Amino acid sequence: MSALIAIGFDPGLAVTGYGVVELTDEGWRVRAGGVIRTASDRPRSERLRELAHEARELVETYRPCGIAIEEVFFATNAQTAMRTAEARGALLVASAGVPVRGYTPLQVKKRITGYGKAQKAQVQAMVQRLLRLAELPRPDDMADGLALALCYLLDARSPEGVDDVYL
């Protein structure tokens, strides 16, 4: 089997977490992880452009077989949800030419832990175990990015494979 690489993005206007995971014959391996931060004192359009640029650099550097982006969860704060949706749009632009899948938080929890109502700490512990990390992945946004990348690769390993289907 040739190595498969996926990038997971946990979108946010202020902070977007990302994780780059590779699947080889030897198992899972973290290639990179971190956060993309944008300054709140800058115009939103500039922040979105910066986010798209930084994300595109990750895509060009790691050349993933696919990208996973967390779906927007509409809670009580519509303004936050709208800004997250805008960040997701910037990530989609940065992902042009690469298959993209969207995952809800419930789908991520179910794929990583087997339980859709798992707590964040349970997801982080399972990501740590799957990726054989010495410590829990931190910050939370990066841990979510790693979990999303794992989701994409888990789907890619299934007999049906992964289409360029943005759910």
Distance (Å, whole) CA 93 – CA 152 = 19
Q: Which residues contact 54 (CB under 8 A, 6 or more apart)?
A: 36
Q: Which residues contact 104 (CB under 8 A, 6 or more apart)?
A: 70, 71, 73
Whether 10 is catalytic: yes
Whether 141 is catalytic: yes
- Please state whether beta strands 100-103 and 66-70 pair in parallel, antiparallel, or not at all (unpaired): parallel
Whether 70 is catalytic: yes
Among the options 70, 71, 86, 144, which is catalytic?
70
102 φ, ψ (degrees, to nearest 5) = -100, 140
The conformational region for residue 27 under phi > 0 = left, psi -120 to 50 = alpha, else beta, is left
The overall longest dimension of the chain from CA atoms, in Å, is 47
| Angle at alpha carbon of residue 162, lines to 9 and 10, rounded to 5° | 10
Among the options 22, 54, 71, 141, which is catalytic?
141
List the catalytic residues: 10, 70, 141
